[in-house]
A and B are shown apart, each in its own frame.
Chain A
Amino acid sequence: GESVGLHLPTLSVQEGDNSIINCAYSNSASDYFIWYKQESGKGPQFIIDIRSNMDKRQGQRVTVLLNKTVKHLSLQIAATQPGDSAVYFCAENLSNSGYALNFGKGTSLLVTP
């Protein structure tokens, strides 16, 4: 089974609101995590990454939080815009399995005006 999963398959938010997308992982050996955004007809686009020795990392309008105690990852998008509408994936790398990224099924984010 998948070790990376997302709590909600779809999320609808109003333009200007903040969005929070959640992700659970089950393998405590995971030490590197990435969030990707995938628009229709395109490949996954790198948003932000975080290593297991950190619990928070910020980028432009995005923040990733890592809670290793409960094996939970979240992506926060500030002031969500229509261009943020896409499917969001979290991916993990297992330190003892090499280089492969393990993806979940994704959360579809819909931004309404």
Chain B
Amino acid sequence: DAGVTQSPTHLIKTRGQQVTLRCSPKSGHDTVSWYQQALGQGPQFIFQYYEEEERQRGNFPDRFSGHQFPNYSSELNVNALLLGDSALYLCASSLTSPRGNQPQHFGDGTRLSIL
């Protein structure tokens, strides 16, 4: 049973460029969340997708956008890259349930470096 998979594992970009990161959720999960983790810090919530729509967003600018596909996979897009966008980008999947919160399971992330 595959867990959460993310691609690519590493990426180097320059300022002003655009990037797309991809995520496949764990089998049976229908919800995908994205987090940004700076070195030495805990993950920061970017947004969450469910039923192909963004249903909650954290404190990130509009340069950060996403998409969820009918097969529940998701993409994170970042435009006009800044040096400060260098971080580990984590995808987490979960199952939306009427029984309440379910644990989010993380992939190993994409390490994005901006030069």
- B7 to A: closest C-beta gap in Å: 13
Residues B103 and A105 in contact, CB atoms below 8 Å apart = no
Interface residues on B, range: 20 to 34
Interface string of B87-115 (1 = CB under 8 A from A): 00010100000001101111111000000
Residues A105 and B90 in contact, CB atoms below 8 Å apart = no
Residues B109 and A89 in contact, CB atoms below 8 Å apart = no
Q: Which residues of A contact B103 (CB under 8 A)?
A: 34, 46, 49
| Count, chain A residues at interface, CB 8 A | 26
Q: Which residues of A contact B55 (CB under 8 A)?
A: 98-99
Residues A100 and B100 in contact, CB atoms below 8 Å apart = no
Which of A43, A46, A91, A104 makes the CB contact (< 8 A) with B90?
A: A43
Chain A, range 63-113, C-beta contacts under 8 Å to B: 89, 91, 93, 97-106
Chain B residues within CB distance 8 Å of chain A: 4, 31, 33, 35, 40-45, 48, 55-56, 58, 90, 92, 100-101, 103-109
Q: A43-B4, A49-B103, A91-B42 are in contact. List 9 more A-B contacts (CB 8 A).
A: A4-B42, A34-B104, A43-B90, A43-B109, A89-B43, A97-B56, A98-B48, A99-B101, A103-B42
* Pairs across A and B, CB under 8 Å, 27 listed: A4-B42, A32-B100, A42-B109, A43-B90, A43-B108, A44-B90, A45-B106, A46-B103, A46-B104, A51-B101, A91-B42, A97-B56, A98-B55, A98-B56, A99-B48, A99-B55, A99-B56, A99-B101, A100-B33, A100-B48, A101-B33, A101-B35, A101-B43, A101-B92, A103-B42, A103-B44, A104-B42
